[in-house]
Chains A and B, each alone.
Chain A
Amino acid sequence: MKIGLYPGCSMKGGAQEYQESVAALAKVFDIELVEIPDWNCCGATAAHNMNKELSLSLPARILALAEKEGLSDIVVPCAACYNRLSLVQHELAADASLKAKVSSIIDMKYEGTSGILNIIQFIDKYIAERFEEKVVKPFNYNAACYYGCLLVRPHNILKFDRVEDPESMDILVRKAGGNAIDWAFKTECCGAGLSVSRTDTVARLSGKIMEDASDRKAEVVVVACPMCHSNLDMRRPEINKYLGEDIKIPVLYISQVMGLAVGLDAKTLGLNRHMTEVRLAEKPVKVAEEPVAPKKVANAQKLEA
Protein backbone atom coordinates (compact mmCIF):
# COMPACT_ATOMS: atom_id res chain seq x y z
CA MET A 1 0.00 0.00 0.00
CA LYS A 2 1.51 3.33 -1.14
CA ILE A 3 0.62 6.58 0.58
CA GLY A 4 2.14 10.01 0.10
CA LEU A 5 4.06 11.60 2.96
CA TYR A 6 4.65 15.27 3.59
CA PRO A 7 7.12 15.24 6.48
CA GLY A 8 7.62 18.99 6.77
CA CYS A 9 10.77 20.69 8.03
CA SER A 10 10.49 19.81 11.72
CA MET A 11 10.55 16.10 11.04
CA LYS A 12 13.83 16.56 9.20
CA GLY A 13 15.32 18.59 12.06
CA GLY A 14 14.19 18.93 15.65
CA ALA A 15 11.50 16.25 15.44
CA GLN A 16 13.38 13.40 13.79
CA GLU A 17 11.95 10.98 16.31
CA TYR A 18 8.46 11.73 14.96
CA GLN A 19 9.61 10.79 11.45
CA GLU A 20 11.36 7.67 12.76
CA SER A 21 8.36 6.50 14.76
CA VAL A 22 5.83 7.14 11.99
CA ALA A 23 8.04 5.26 9.53
CA ALA A 24 8.54 2.35 11.93
CA LEU A 25 4.84 2.09 12.71
CA ALA A 26 3.89 2.18 9.02
CA LYS A 27 6.40 -0.59 8.31
CA VAL A 28 4.82 -2.89 10.89
CA PHE A 29 1.54 -2.57 8.97
CA ASP A 30 3.11 -2.95 5.50
CA ILE A 31 2.40 0.61 4.46
CA GLU A 32 4.86 2.27 2.11
CA LEU A 33 5.14 6.00 2.74
CA VAL A 34 6.33 7.86 -0.35
CA GLU A 35 7.83 11.25 0.36
CA ILE A 36 6.54 13.95 -2.00
CA PRO A 37 9.57 14.56 -4.24
CA ASP A 38 11.42 17.82 -3.69
CA TRP A 39 8.81 19.18 -1.27
CA ASN A 40 9.20 22.67 0.18
CA CYS A 41 8.30 24.27 3.52
CA CYS A 42 4.60 25.08 3.97
CA GLY A 43 5.48 28.57 5.21
CA ALA A 44 3.96 27.93 8.64
CA THR A 45 2.97 30.87 10.84
CA ALA A 46 5.59 33.18 9.35
CA ALA A 47 4.06 33.12 5.86
CA HIS A 48 0.45 33.73 6.85
CA ASN A 49 1.46 36.44 9.29
CA MET A 50 3.61 38.27 6.79
CA ASN A 51 2.24 37.66 3.30
CA LYS A 52 -1.07 36.12 2.25
CA GLU A 53 -0.01 35.14 -1.27
CA LEU A 54 3.08 33.40 -0.01
CA SER A 55 1.00 31.53 2.55
CA LEU A 56 -1.19 30.21 -0.28
CA SER A 57 1.56 29.54 -2.82
CA LEU A 58 3.97 27.47 -0.70
CA PRO A 59 1.37 24.84 0.31
CA ALA A 60 -0.13 24.90 -3.21
CA ARG A 61 3.24 23.88 -4.67
CA ILE A 62 3.41 20.94 -2.26
CA LEU A 63 -0.07 19.77 -3.23
CA ALA A 64 0.70 20.26 -6.93
CA LEU A 65 3.83 18.09 -6.56
CA ALA A 66 1.76 15.36 -4.89
CA GLU A 67 -0.80 15.49 -7.70
CA LYS A 68 1.97 15.25 -10.29
CA GLU A 69 3.25 12.15 -8.53
CA GLY A 70 -0.22 10.61 -8.54
CA LEU A 71 -0.44 10.46 -4.75
CA SER A 72 -4.15 10.63 -3.97
CA ASP A 73 -3.79 10.39 -0.17
CA ILE A 74 -1.04 12.24 1.65
CA VAL A 75 -0.35 11.94 5.35
CA VAL A 76 0.87 15.11 7.05
CA PRO A 77 2.03 14.17 10.57
CA CYS A 78 2.85 17.74 11.64
CA ALA A 79 -0.39 19.35 12.83
CA ALA A 80 0.76 22.81 11.74
CA CYS A 81 1.58 21.66 8.18
CA TYR A 82 -1.68 19.66 8.09
CA ASN A 83 -3.55 22.82 9.05
CA ARG A 84 -1.86 25.02 6.44
CA LEU A 85 -2.28 22.50 3.61
CA SER A 86 -5.94 21.92 4.47
CA LEU A 87 -6.76 25.63 4.77
CA VAL A 88 -5.11 26.46 1.46
CA GLN A 89 -6.88 23.61 -0.32
CA HIS A 90 -10.16 24.87 1.11
CA GLU A 91 -9.55 28.51 0.21
CA LEU A 92 -8.50 27.76 -3.36
CA ALA A 93 -11.46 25.41 -3.90
CA ALA A 94 -13.81 28.24 -2.96
CA ASP A 95 -12.29 30.84 -5.29
CA ALA A 96 -11.52 29.94 -8.92
CA SER A 97 -9.74 33.19 -9.75
CA LEU A 98 -7.51 32.91 -6.69
CA LYS A 99 -6.76 29.30 -7.68
CA ALA A 100 -5.73 30.45 -11.18
CA LYS A 101 -3.59 33.22 -9.72
CA VAL A 102 -1.77 30.90 -7.30
CA SER A 103 -1.29 28.36 -10.06
CA SER A 104 0.46 31.03 -12.13
CA ILE A 105 2.61 32.15 -9.16
CA ILE A 106 3.86 28.61 -8.57
CA ASP A 107 4.02 27.99 -12.32
CA MET A 108 2.42 24.57 -11.92
CA LYS A 109 -0.89 22.92 -12.57
CA TYR A 110 -2.92 22.73 -9.37
CA GLU A 111 -6.20 20.81 -9.05
CA GLY A 112 -6.66 20.53 -5.30
CA THR A 113 -7.68 16.87 -5.36
CA SER A 114 -5.32 15.41 -2.75
CA GLY A 115 -6.76 13.75 0.31
CA ILE A 116 -4.94 15.38 3.24
CA LEU A 117 -4.74 13.22 6.36
CA ASN A 118 -3.40 14.16 9.77
CA ILE A 119 -1.59 11.46 11.71
CA ILE A 120 -4.70 10.29 13.55
CA GLN A 121 -6.82 10.14 10.40
CA PHE A 122 -3.99 8.18 8.77
CA ILE A 123 -3.86 5.69 11.64
CA ASP A 124 -7.67 5.44 11.75
CA LYS A 125 -7.90 4.80 8.01
CA TYR A 126 -4.96 2.48 7.44
CA ILE A 127 -3.88 0.97 10.76
CA ALA A 128 -6.55 1.05 13.50
CA GLU A 129 -8.51 -1.97 12.27
CA ARG A 130 -5.43 -4.21 12.32
CA PHE A 131 -3.84 -2.61 15.35
CA GLU A 132 -5.22 -4.41 18.38
CA GLU A 133 -4.30 -7.88 17.14
CA LYS A 134 -0.66 -6.74 16.99
CA VAL A 135 -0.46 -5.30 20.52
CA VAL A 136 2.12 -7.33 22.44
CA LYS A 137 3.11 -4.85 25.11
CA PRO A 138 0.14 -2.80 26.32
CA PHE A 139 1.06 0.81 27.04
CA ASN A 140 -0.13 0.62 30.63
CA TYR A 141 0.14 4.27 31.68
CA ASN A 142 -2.04 7.27 32.53
CA ALA A 143 -1.87 9.38 29.41
CA ALA A 144 -2.99 12.98 28.90
CA CYS A 145 -3.76 13.31 25.19
CA TYR A 146 -2.90 16.82 24.07
CA TYR A 147 -4.40 17.88 20.73
CA GLY A 148 -3.39 21.54 20.70
CA CYS A 149 -4.85 24.05 18.27
CA LEU A 150 -4.12 23.22 14.69
CA LEU A 151 -5.26 19.61 14.61
CA VAL A 152 -8.85 20.51 15.44
CA ARG A 153 -9.29 24.20 14.56
CA PRO A 154 -10.90 25.74 12.56
CA HIS A 155 -13.55 23.04 12.73
CA ASN A 156 -15.68 24.28 9.82
CA ILE A 157 -12.77 23.56 7.45
CA LEU A 158 -10.91 20.65 9.05
CA LYS A 159 -14.08 18.87 10.22
CA PHE A 160 -11.96 16.67 12.43
CA ASP A 161 -13.12 15.39 15.82
CA ARG A 162 -14.96 17.37 18.52
CA VAL A 163 -13.55 20.83 18.73
CA GLU A 164 -13.56 21.44 22.51
CA ASP A 165 -13.19 17.87 23.77
CA PRO A 166 -11.67 15.75 21.02
CA GLU A 167 -11.37 12.01 21.65
CA SER A 168 -9.76 10.40 18.60
CA MET A 169 -6.30 10.25 20.18
CA ASP A 170 -7.76 9.03 23.49
CA ILE A 171 -9.38 6.15 21.61
CA LEU A 172 -6.04 5.19 20.01
CA VAL A 173 -4.24 5.35 23.36
CA ARG A 174 -6.90 3.05 24.86
CA LYS A 175 -6.42 0.64 21.96
CA ALA A 176 -2.72 0.64 22.81
CA GLY A 177 -3.63 -0.41 26.35
CA GLY A 178 -3.28 3.01 27.97
CA ASN A 179 -5.54 4.92 30.32
CA ALA A 180 -6.48 8.19 28.58
CA ILE A 181 -7.31 10.56 31.42
CA ASP A 182 -9.91 13.33 31.57
CA TRP A 183 -8.26 16.73 31.75
CA ALA A 184 -8.91 20.35 30.94
CA PHE A 185 -6.15 21.39 28.57
CA LYS A 186 -6.64 19.12 25.54
CA THR A 187 -7.02 22.00 23.08
CA GLU A 188 -5.42 24.94 24.88
CA CYS A 189 -2.58 26.65 23.02
CA CYS A 190 1.06 25.88 23.95
CA GLY A 191 2.34 29.21 22.62
CA ALA A 192 3.27 27.80 19.24
CA GLY A 193 5.59 29.89 17.10
CA LEU A 194 6.50 32.30 19.89
CA SER A 195 8.91 29.69 21.31
CA VAL A 196 12.01 31.68 20.42
CA SER A 197 10.76 35.26 20.19
CA ARG A 198 8.58 35.24 23.38
CA THR A 199 9.84 32.32 25.43
CA ASP A 200 8.20 33.72 28.59
CA THR A 201 4.75 33.52 26.96
CA VAL A 202 5.40 29.93 25.93
CA ALA A 203 6.57 29.03 29.45
CA ARG A 204 3.31 30.38 30.89
CA LEU A 205 0.97 28.71 28.36
CA SER A 206 2.81 25.38 28.21
CA GLY A 207 3.28 25.58 31.98
CA LYS A 208 -0.48 25.58 32.57
CA ILE A 209 -0.84 22.56 30.31
CA MET A 210 1.87 20.57 32.10
CA GLU A 211 0.57 21.64 35.53
CA ASP A 212 -2.92 20.26 34.82
CA ALA A 213 -1.48 17.04 33.38
CA SER A 214 0.65 16.67 36.51
CA ASP A 215 -2.20 17.47 38.93
CA ARG A 216 -4.30 14.77 37.33
CA LYS A 217 -1.54 12.17 37.73
CA ALA A 218 -0.65 11.81 34.07
CA GLU A 219 2.46 9.65 33.59
CA VAL A 220 2.89 10.76 30.00
CA VAL A 221 1.58 13.50 27.71
CA VAL A 222 0.79 12.34 24.17
CA VAL A 223 0.98 14.74 21.21
CA ALA A 224 0.58 14.79 17.43
CA CYS A 225 2.49 17.95 16.57
CA PRO A 226 6.24 18.71 16.55
CA MET A 227 5.63 22.30 17.64
CA CYS A 228 3.56 21.26 20.66
CA HIS A 229 6.22 18.67 21.39
CA SER A 230 9.11 21.09 21.31
CA ASN A 231 7.29 23.57 23.55
CA LEU A 232 6.27 20.96 26.15
CA ASP A 233 9.50 18.95 25.97
CA MET A 234 12.38 21.25 25.02
CA ARG A 235 11.00 24.24 26.94
CA ARG A 236 10.60 22.15 30.12
CA PRO A 237 13.33 24.02 32.04
CA GLU A 238 11.52 27.32 31.36
CA ILE A 239 8.14 25.69 32.19
CA ASN A 240 9.41 24.32 35.51
CA LYS A 241 10.94 27.68 36.35
CA TYR A 242 7.62 29.41 35.66
CA LEU A 243 5.72 26.87 37.78
CA GLY A 244 8.31 26.61 40.51
CA GLU A 245 8.00 22.84 40.20
CA ASP A 246 10.03 20.00 38.78
CA ILE A 247 7.67 18.19 36.44
CA LYS A 248 9.39 15.24 34.80
CA ILE A 249 6.46 13.85 32.79
CA PRO A 250 7.76 12.84 29.34
CA VAL A 251 6.03 13.94 26.13
CA LEU A 252 5.56 11.20 23.51
CA TYR A 253 4.19 11.27 19.99
CA ILE A 254 1.10 9.13 19.39
CA SER A 255 3.17 7.14 16.87
CA GLN A 256 5.68 6.33 19.62
CA VAL A 257 2.96 5.17 22.01
CA MET A 258 1.45 2.90 19.37
CA GLY A 259 4.89 1.72 18.31
CA LEU A 260 5.77 0.70 21.87
CA ALA A 261 2.50 -1.22 22.14
CA VAL A 262 3.27 -3.32 19.05
CA GLY A 263 6.68 -4.15 20.49
CA LEU A 264 9.01 -1.73 18.69
CA ASP A 265 12.02 -0.81 20.79
CA ALA A 266 12.71 2.61 22.28
CA LYS A 267 15.65 3.39 20.02
CA THR A 268 13.79 2.58 16.79
CA LEU A 269 11.07 4.98 17.94
CA GLY A 270 13.59 7.68 18.82
CA LEU A 271 12.61 7.90 22.49
CA ASN A 272 16.24 8.70 23.31
CA ARG A 273 15.96 11.96 21.37
CA HIS A 274 13.56 13.71 23.74
CA MET A 275 15.01 16.48 25.87
CA THR A 276 12.87 15.44 28.88
CA GLU A 277 14.09 11.92 29.61
CA VAL A 278 11.59 9.15 28.94
CA ARG A 279 11.64 6.99 32.05
CA LEU A 280 8.60 4.78 32.13
CA ALA A 281 8.65 2.27 34.96
CA GLU A 282 7.76 -1.31 34.04
CA LYS A 283 4.26 -2.01 35.32
CA PRO A 284 2.25 -5.20 35.54
CA VAL A 285 -0.61 -5.16 33.06
CA LYS A 286 -3.87 -4.50 34.85
CA VAL A 287 -7.09 -6.19 33.90
CA ALA A 288 -9.07 -3.54 32.05
CA GLU A 289 -11.73 -1.96 34.25
CA GLU A 290 -14.67 0.06 33.12
CA PRO A 291 -13.58 3.69 33.50
CA VAL A 292 -15.72 5.52 36.03
CA ALA A 293 -15.78 9.30 36.04
CA PRO A 294 -16.62 10.17 39.66
CA LYS A 295 -17.89 13.69 38.91
CA LYS A 296 -20.31 12.51 36.27
CA VAL A 297 -21.71 9.82 38.58
CA ALA A 298 -22.25 12.37 41.35
CA ASN A 299 -24.03 14.70 38.93
CA ALA A 300 -26.26 11.93 37.67
CA GLN A 301 -27.26 11.04 41.21
CA LYS A 302 -28.05 14.68 41.92
CA LEU A 303 -30.25 14.85 38.87
CA GLU A 304 -32.13 11.71 39.86
CA ALA A 305 -32.71 13.11 43.34
Chain B
Amino acid sequence: MSASHDTVHPTTQSGQIRMDTGVIVNKCYQCGKCSAGCPVASEMDYPPSLVMRMLQTEEPVQMEKLLKSMSIWLCVSCEMCLTRCPMEIDIPALMDHLRQKSLSAKKTNPQARKIISFHKSFLDSINYTGRLYEMGLIVDYKMRTGAMIQDVAIAPKMFVKGKLNPVPEIIKGRKKIAAIFNRIHKEGK
Protein backbone atom coordinates (compact mmCIF):
# COMPACT_ATOMS: atom_id res chain seq x y z
CA MET B 1 0.00 0.00 0.00
CA SER B 2 1.41 3.39 -0.95
CA ALA B 3 1.83 6.28 1.47
CA SER B 4 -1.11 8.10 -0.09
CA HIS B 5 -3.39 5.24 0.98
CA ASP B 6 -2.40 5.68 4.61
CA THR B 7 -3.06 9.39 4.81
CA VAL B 8 -6.65 10.51 5.24
CA HIS B 9 -7.44 13.92 3.80
CA PRO B 10 -10.76 14.83 5.43
CA THR B 11 -11.29 17.82 3.18
CA THR B 12 -11.35 15.76 0.00
CA GLN B 13 -14.33 13.83 -1.29
CA SER B 14 -12.54 10.50 -1.04
CA GLY B 15 -11.27 11.41 2.43
CA GLN B 16 -14.83 11.93 3.60
CA ILE B 17 -15.89 8.62 2.10
CA ARG B 18 -13.03 6.90 3.86
CA MET B 19 -13.92 8.45 7.21
CA ASP B 20 -17.59 7.52 6.88
CA THR B 21 -17.29 4.05 5.39
CA GLY B 22 -13.67 2.94 5.63
CA VAL B 23 -13.62 2.55 1.85
CA ILE B 24 -10.49 3.69 0.01
CA VAL B 25 -11.78 4.45 -3.49
CA ASN B 26 -8.30 4.49 -5.03
CA LYS B 27 -7.87 0.81 -4.24
CA CYS B 28 -10.12 -0.01 -7.20
CA TYR B 29 -8.18 -0.92 -10.35
CA GLN B 30 -11.23 -1.29 -12.57
CA CYS B 31 -11.21 -5.06 -13.08
CA GLY B 32 -14.99 -4.97 -13.48
CA LYS B 33 -15.83 -8.09 -11.46
CA CYS B 34 -18.36 -6.14 -9.40
CA SER B 35 -20.30 -5.05 -12.48
CA ALA B 36 -20.09 -8.55 -13.96
CA GLY B 37 -21.62 -10.13 -10.85
CA CYS B 38 -24.10 -7.38 -9.97
CA PRO B 39 -27.66 -8.69 -10.51
CA VAL B 40 -29.03 -5.23 -11.29
CA ALA B 41 -26.12 -3.70 -13.25
CA SER B 42 -28.08 -4.00 -16.50
CA GLU B 43 -30.79 -1.71 -15.08
CA MET B 44 -28.37 0.82 -13.58
CA ASP B 45 -27.33 4.13 -15.12
CA TYR B 46 -23.80 3.61 -13.73
CA PRO B 47 -22.70 0.04 -12.90
CA PRO B 48 -20.65 -0.44 -9.69
CA SER B 49 -17.20 -0.32 -11.33
CA LEU B 50 -18.11 2.96 -13.02
CA VAL B 51 -19.34 4.33 -9.69
CA MET B 52 -15.87 3.57 -8.32
CA ARG B 53 -14.17 5.29 -11.25
CA MET B 54 -16.40 8.35 -10.95
CA LEU B 55 -15.50 8.68 -7.27
CA GLN B 56 -11.80 8.36 -8.06
CA THR B 57 -11.92 11.47 -10.24
CA GLU B 58 -12.72 13.61 -7.16
CA GLU B 59 -14.81 15.81 -9.46
CA PRO B 60 -17.89 17.32 -7.77
CA VAL B 61 -19.80 16.94 -11.02
CA GLN B 62 -19.33 13.16 -10.92
CA MET B 63 -20.50 13.03 -7.29
CA GLU B 64 -23.52 15.09 -8.33
CA LYS B 65 -24.36 12.54 -11.03
CA LEU B 66 -24.14 9.70 -8.51
CA LEU B 67 -26.35 11.43 -5.95
CA LYS B 68 -28.97 11.90 -8.65
CA SER B 69 -28.53 8.39 -10.07
CA MET B 70 -30.87 5.41 -10.09
CA SER B 71 -27.92 3.07 -9.42
CA ILE B 72 -27.76 3.87 -5.72
CA TRP B 73 -31.44 2.98 -5.27
CA LEU B 74 -31.45 -0.08 -7.53
CA CYS B 75 -28.58 -1.62 -5.57
CA VAL B 76 -30.20 -4.48 -3.62
CA SER B 77 -27.36 -4.82 -1.09
CA CYS B 78 -26.79 -8.43 -2.14
CA GLU B 79 -23.06 -8.07 -1.32
CA MET B 80 -21.95 -9.92 -4.46
CA CYS B 81 -19.62 -7.05 -5.49
CA LEU B 82 -17.80 -7.08 -2.16
CA THR B 83 -17.55 -10.86 -2.22
CA ARG B 84 -15.85 -10.94 -5.61
CA CYS B 85 -13.76 -7.76 -5.34
CA PRO B 86 -10.05 -8.70 -5.39
CA MET B 87 -9.36 -5.60 -3.27
CA GLU B 88 -12.26 -6.32 -0.86
CA ILE B 89 -13.77 -2.87 -1.38
CA ASP B 90 -17.02 -2.54 0.56
CA ILE B 91 -19.18 -1.19 -2.26
CA PRO B 92 -22.44 -1.97 -0.38
CA ALA B 93 -21.29 0.33 2.46
CA LEU B 94 -20.43 2.93 -0.15
CA MET B 95 -23.90 2.62 -1.66
CA ASP B 96 -25.49 3.15 1.80
CA HIS B 97 -23.30 6.24 2.17
CA LEU B 98 -24.33 7.65 -1.24
CA ARG B 99 -28.03 6.97 -0.62
CA GLN B 100 -27.97 8.82 2.69
CA LYS B 101 -25.99 11.68 1.16
CA SER B 102 -28.50 11.88 -1.69
CA LEU B 103 -31.40 11.98 0.78
CA SER B 104 -29.92 14.68 3.01
CA ALA B 105 -28.93 16.79 -0.02
CA LYS B 106 -32.46 16.26 -1.42
CA LYS B 107 -31.07 15.09 -4.74
CA THR B 108 -32.87 11.78 -5.10
CA ASN B 109 -33.77 10.63 -8.60
CA PRO B 110 -37.51 11.16 -9.25
CA GLN B 111 -37.75 7.65 -10.72
CA ALA B 112 -36.60 6.21 -7.39
CA ARG B 113 -39.68 7.62 -5.69
CA LYS B 114 -41.42 4.26 -5.28
CA ILE B 115 -38.33 2.56 -3.86
CA ILE B 116 -37.75 5.37 -1.36
CA SER B 117 -41.45 5.49 -0.44
CA PHE B 118 -41.32 1.79 0.37
CA HIS B 119 -38.35 2.32 2.71
CA LYS B 120 -40.07 5.27 4.38
CA SER B 121 -43.30 3.34 4.91
CA PHE B 122 -41.26 0.46 6.32
CA LEU B 123 -39.49 2.67 8.86
CA ASP B 124 -42.74 4.43 9.81
CA SER B 125 -44.24 1.08 10.71
CA ILE B 126 -41.31 0.31 13.01
CA ASN B 127 -41.51 3.78 14.53
CA TYR B 128 -45.23 3.37 15.35
CA THR B 129 -45.43 -0.27 16.42
CA GLY B 130 -41.85 -1.42 17.06
CA ARG B 131 -42.22 -4.02 14.33
CA LEU B 132 -43.00 -4.24 10.68
CA TYR B 133 -46.74 -4.52 10.21
CA GLU B 134 -47.01 -5.80 6.65
CA MET B 135 -50.58 -4.77 5.93
CA GLY B 136 -49.97 -1.31 7.38
CA LEU B 137 -46.80 -1.03 5.31
CA ILE B 138 -48.64 -1.79 2.08
CA VAL B 139 -51.50 0.63 2.82
CA ASP B 140 -49.03 3.38 3.79
CA TYR B 141 -46.98 2.68 0.64
CA LYS B 142 -50.08 2.89 -1.56
CA MET B 143 -51.01 6.22 -0.01
CA ARG B 144 -47.54 7.56 -0.72
CA THR B 145 -47.25 6.31 -4.29
CA GLY B 146 -50.84 6.14 -5.51
CA ALA B 147 -50.22 2.52 -6.60
CA MET B 148 -53.70 1.63 -5.40
CA ILE B 149 -54.44 -1.44 -7.53
CA GLN B 150 -50.99 -3.05 -7.37
CA ASP B 151 -51.09 -6.52 -5.79
CA VAL B 152 -54.74 -6.15 -4.77
CA ALA B 153 -55.53 -9.41 -6.60
CA ILE B 154 -53.30 -11.58 -4.39
CA ALA B 155 -54.50 -10.10 -1.08
CA PRO B 156 -57.54 -12.38 -0.59
CA LYS B 157 -55.49 -15.54 -1.24
CA MET B 158 -52.82 -14.32 1.20
CA PHE B 159 -55.49 -13.68 3.78
CA VAL B 160 -56.94 -17.19 3.40
CA LYS B 161 -53.45 -18.68 3.72
CA GLY B 162 -52.94 -16.78 6.99
CA LYS B 163 -50.25 -14.58 5.50
CA LEU B 164 -51.91 -11.25 6.27
CA ASN B 165 -52.32 -10.25 9.86
CA PRO B 166 -55.44 -8.10 10.25
CA VAL B 167 -54.12 -6.43 13.41
CA PRO B 168 -50.62 -5.11 14.12
CA GLU B 169 -48.48 -6.55 16.90
CA ILE B 170 -47.55 -3.55 19.01
CA ILE B 171 -44.66 -4.17 21.36
CA LYS B 172 -44.64 -3.00 24.98
CA GLY B 173 -41.50 -1.00 24.43
CA ARG B 174 -43.07 0.91 21.55
CA LYS B 175 -42.24 4.23 23.18
CA LYS B 176 -38.63 3.17 23.59
CA ILE B 177 -38.43 2.54 19.85
CA ALA B 178 -39.99 5.93 19.14
CA ALA B 179 -37.38 7.44 21.49
CA ILE B 180 -34.59 5.80 19.46
CA PHE B 181 -36.02 7.35 16.27
CA ASN B 182 -36.28 10.74 18.03
CA ARG B 183 -32.71 10.72 19.34
CA ILE B 184 -31.34 9.87 15.90
CA HIS B 185 -33.59 12.41 14.21
CA LYS B 186 -32.50 15.21 16.59
CA GLU B 187 -28.85 14.37 16.12
CA GLY B 188 -29.22 14.47 12.35
CA LYS B 189 -30.41 18.06 12.49
Residues of A bordering B, CB below 8 Å? 9-10, 12-16, 38-41, 43-55, 57-58, 61, 105-107, 149-150, 153-156, 163-164, 187-189, 191-194, 196-199, 201, 205, 234, 237, 272-275
Contact of B171 among A40, A55, A201 (CB under 8 A): A40
Contact of A12 among B114, B115, B131 (CB under 8 A): B131
A interface: dominant SS: helix
Chain B contacts of A16 at CB under 8 A? 162-163
B152-184 near A? 1/0 per residue, CB < 8 Å: 001001100111110001011100110111011
Known contacts A13-B164, A14-B134, A196-B141; can you find 9 more A-B pairs with CB under 8 A? A16-B162, A38-B171, A41-B125, A45-B76, A48-B77, A54-B180, A194-B74, A234-B154, A273-B163
B80 within 8 A of A: yes
Contact of B180 among A61, A153, A154, A191 (CB under 8 A): A61
Chain A contacts of B179 at CB under 8 A? 107
Among B79, B120, B133, B162, the most chain A Cβ lie within 10 Å of the Cβ of B79
Interface size on B, residues (CB 8 A): 59
Chain B contacts of A49 at CB under 8 A? 77, 96, 99-100, 119
B132 within 8 A of A: yes
Among A41, A198, A205, the most chain B Cβ lie within 10 Å of the Cβ of A41
Do A198 and B103 form a contact, CB below 8 Å, given A39-B171, A47-B123, A50-B119? no
Residue of A nearest to B114 (CB): A197
Please give the distance in Å from A245's CB to the nearest CB on chain B: 19
Complex formed: what's the CA distance from A194 to B122 in Å? 12
B115 pairs with A106, CB closer than 8 A: no
What are the 8 closest A-B residue pairs judged by CB atoms, nearest first? A153-B79, A46-B122, A9-B132, A189-B78, A46-B119, A149-B78, A197-B118, A189-B39
Q: Could you list 14 examples of A-B contacts with CB < 8 Å?
A: A14-B163, A41-B130, A43-B123, A45-B76, A47-B123, A49-B99, A61-B176, A154-B90, A156-B88, A187-B80, A189-B39, A196-B141, A197-B114, A275-B157
Chain A contacts of B40 at CB under 8 A? 201, 205
Chain A contacts of B134 at CB under 8 A? 9, 13-14
Complex formed: what's the CA distance from A163 to B80 in Å? 10
A196 pairs with B118, CB closer than 8 A: yes
Residue of A nearest to B122 (CB): A46
Contact of B184 among A53, A153, A154 (CB under 8 A): A53
A272 pairs with B184, CB closer than 8 A: no
Contact of B131 among A41, A57, A156 (CB under 8 A): A41
B151 within 8 A of A: yes
B interface: dominant SS: helix
Complex formed: what's the CA distance from A197 to B125 in Å? 17
Chain B contacts of A272 at CB under 8 A? 161
Chain B contacts of A48 at CB under 8 A? 77, 96
Complex formed: what's the CA distance from A196 to B155 in Å? 13
Residue of A nearest to B134 (CB): A13
Complex formed: what's the CA distance from A205 to B88 in Å? 25
Chain A contacts of B114 at CB under 8 A? 197-198
B26 within 8 A of A: no
A275 pairs with B77, CB closer than 8 A: no
Residue of B nearest to A12 (CB): B169
B84-110 near A? 1/0 per residue, CB < 8 Å: 000010101000100110010000000
Residue of B nearest to A108 (CB): B176
Do A201 and B88 form a contact, CB below 8 Å, given A13-B164, A40-B177? no
B123 pairs with A50, CB closer than 8 A: yes
Among A153, A199, A272, the most chain B Cβ lie within 10 Å of the Cβ of A153
Among A13, A150, A198, the most chain B Cβ lie within 10 Å of the Cβ of A13
